Structure formats: C-alpha cells, structure tokens
C-alpha cells in the first residue's frame, strides 16, 4: 500500500514537473516571438523613417530648384524693365522676398525632417527619361530588360517622375539580386489621371517549393520605402511573387486633373 502511494506521489510530481516545464517553454516561445516581432516592427519603423528622410531631401532638391529659378527670373525682370509702374516693381520685389522666405522655410523644415547626411552626394534627381541608362546597367550586370510604353509620354511632376524611377530601380535591383539568370520587363503606361508602372521578372515558381527570398513577402526595407513614396503621392503599390515564377511590382500614381 505504501509502495502504491509512493508511486502515485512520484507520478504526480513527475506530471507537475512536466507541466511546469511545458509552461516554461510556452512562455519562452511566447517571449521569443514577442521579441522577434518587436525587432521586425522596429526595423520597419526605421525603414519608413529613413525613407521619409530621403523623400524630404529629394523634395527639397526638386522644390528649391524651381523656387530658385522663380526668384532669379523675378529679380531679372525687376532689374531689366525700368518703365514699369512703381506698384509693379513693388510686386516683383515682394515676390522675390516671398521666394527667399520660402527657401529659408524649406531649409528649416528639411533640417527637422532629415538632418543633413554628410555621406550623401547631392546629385540631380533622376526620372523616367533615364530609364534607358538604368536598364543598360542592369543588362550589363547579367539580366536582359525590355521596356514597353503605352499612352502619350509627357512631362510629369518632379515628385512623380522621381518616384516612378525609384520603383523601377528598386524592382530591377531586387530581380538582379534574387533571380540571377532571369529576364525582366518594364511597363510604363500614361493615362489622363494616372501613371502606371509595372516591373516583372522571371524566376522559380512558388509551386516548386523554392524558398522565397528575404524580401519576397513584400516586407523588405526597399519595398517599405517604395510604398511610403507612393502613398505620399496618393497612390498605391503592390509587390508579390508570381505563381508562374518570378516577381511583380505594380504601382499607380495619380497625376491630378488633366490639363484643359
């Protein structure tokens, strides 16, 4: 009887230890998952913040260039035309002053949004007109690229032009990195109110069970940045693996009301 009671106590203790160990493992796994999710969230926030800083710098370049041209032209008009009424001269002088104040505000806002990066080169921002050069570089690196343009190409707002270029640049760079030996196609379509940009590339099919690259779920830092850029302009971006193989990045960006 004593042996039976002892055996029962041992069994109960063993079960209690097993339950405690299982609960400890469950807590450890839950904590590990929480930490991993926190790291992913932190990386995503960092990517968004860095991309916003970059957007701020690029917008500063675009806007400040145009405002500077306006200031210069206004000043030249004021100095070259001597027969204007005093009111007109004062209006031109006020326009110059407002332009300079706007430039100062731009520099101030840029300092708040994106502190200066001493390692970043100040170069002219690219647009769709430079896609040919970009595709030549990608092709030279080993991935043939074809481009198709639909609609009537026309001058685009500087921010839209830059964003469209960045979409193609990021998508082709990812394709070259994750699908070596494949091919890529770039589609640009102009409509009255939208610019549509799509980049597709060949690669292993998801049906083969080939593991997706680290950015294959659309959560890579580059794609996070692209979505941020497109969202700023009121558009949307979709990036995903294709069932038939490869990857597709597709975006549509509003162009505003068509000119009358």
pLDDT at 64: 61
| CB-based contacts of 37, cutoff 8 Å, min separation 6 | none
Burial grade of 123 (CB within 10 A; 0-12, 13-18, 19 or more)? exposed
Q: Is the pLDDT of residue 216 over 60?
A: no
pTM over 0.85: no
Q: Tokens representing 94?
A: 């006020």
> Residue 196 and residue 237: Cα distance in Å, rounded?
10
Please state which of the ranges 30-34, 137-141, 222-226 shows the lowest mean pLDDT.
222-226
Full strand arrangement of the beta sheet holding 236-241: 145-150, 184-190, 194-201, 247-254, 236-241
The string of pLDDT tens digits covering residues 76-86 is: 666 666 666 77
pLDDT at 119: 46
Q: Is the pLDDT of residue 197 over 70?
A: yes
Instruction: Tell me the average pLDDT of the chain.
Output: 75
CB contact at 8 A, 212 and 206: yes
Q: What is the mean pLDDT of residues 169-193?
A: 88
The string of pLDDT tens digits covering residues 132-163 is: 999 888 888 888 999 999 998 888 888 889 88
CB contact at 8 A, 254 and 193: yes
Q: What is the mean pLDDT of residues 13-37?
A: 79
Write the CA distances from 167 to 117, 217, 235, 247, integer angstroms: 23, 17, 13, 14
Count CB-CB contacts under 10 A for residue 227. Answer: 20
Please state which of the ranges 48-57, 115-124, 202-211 shows the lowest mean pLDDT.
115-124
* Higher pLDDT among residues 187 and 63, named by residue: 187
> Residue 179 and residue 159: Cα distance in Å, rounded?
30
Q: Is the pLDDT of residue 212 over 50?
A: no
Write the CA distances from 208 to 203, 243, 244, integer angstroms: 11, 10, 10
CB contact at 8 A, 220 and 241: no
Mapped onto helix, strand or coil, the DSSP state of residue 192 is coil
Please state which of the ranges 90-99, 121-130, 150-159 shows the lowest mean pLDDT.
121-130
Q: Is the pLDDT of residue 1 over 60?
A: no
């Amino acid at each position: 009887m004593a042996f039976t009671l002892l055996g029962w106590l041992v069994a109960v203790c063993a079960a209690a230890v097993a339950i405690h160990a299982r609960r400890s493992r469950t807590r450890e796994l839950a904590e590990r998952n929480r930490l991993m999710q926190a790291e992913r969230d932190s990386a995503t926030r960092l990517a968004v913040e860095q991309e916003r800083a970059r957007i701020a710098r690029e917008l500063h370049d675009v806007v400040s260039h145009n405002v500077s041209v306006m200031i210069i032209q206004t000043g030249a008009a004021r100095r070259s035309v001597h027969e204007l009424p005093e009111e007109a001269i004062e209006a031109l002088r006020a326009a110059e002053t407002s332009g300079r104040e706007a430039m100062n505000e731009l520099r101030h806002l840029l300092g708040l949004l994106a502190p200066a990066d001493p390692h970043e080169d100040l170069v002219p921002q690219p647009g769709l007109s430079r896609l040919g050069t970009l595709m030549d570089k990608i092709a030279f690196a080993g991935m043939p690229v074809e481009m198709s343009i639909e609609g009537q190409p026309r001058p685009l707002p500087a921010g839209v032009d830059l964003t469209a270029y960045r979409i193609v640049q990021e998508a082709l760079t990812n394709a070259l990195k994750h699908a070596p030996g494949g091919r890529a196609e770039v589609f640009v379509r102009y409509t009255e109110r939208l610019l549509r940009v799509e980049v597709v590339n060949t690669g292993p099919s998801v049906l083969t069970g080939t593991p997706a690259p680290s950015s294959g779920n659309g959560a890579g830092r580059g794609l996070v940045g692209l979505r941020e850029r497109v969202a700023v302009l009121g558009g949307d971006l979709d990036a995903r693996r294709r069932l038939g193989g490869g990857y597709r990045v597709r975006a549509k960006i509003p162009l505003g009301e068509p000119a009358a």
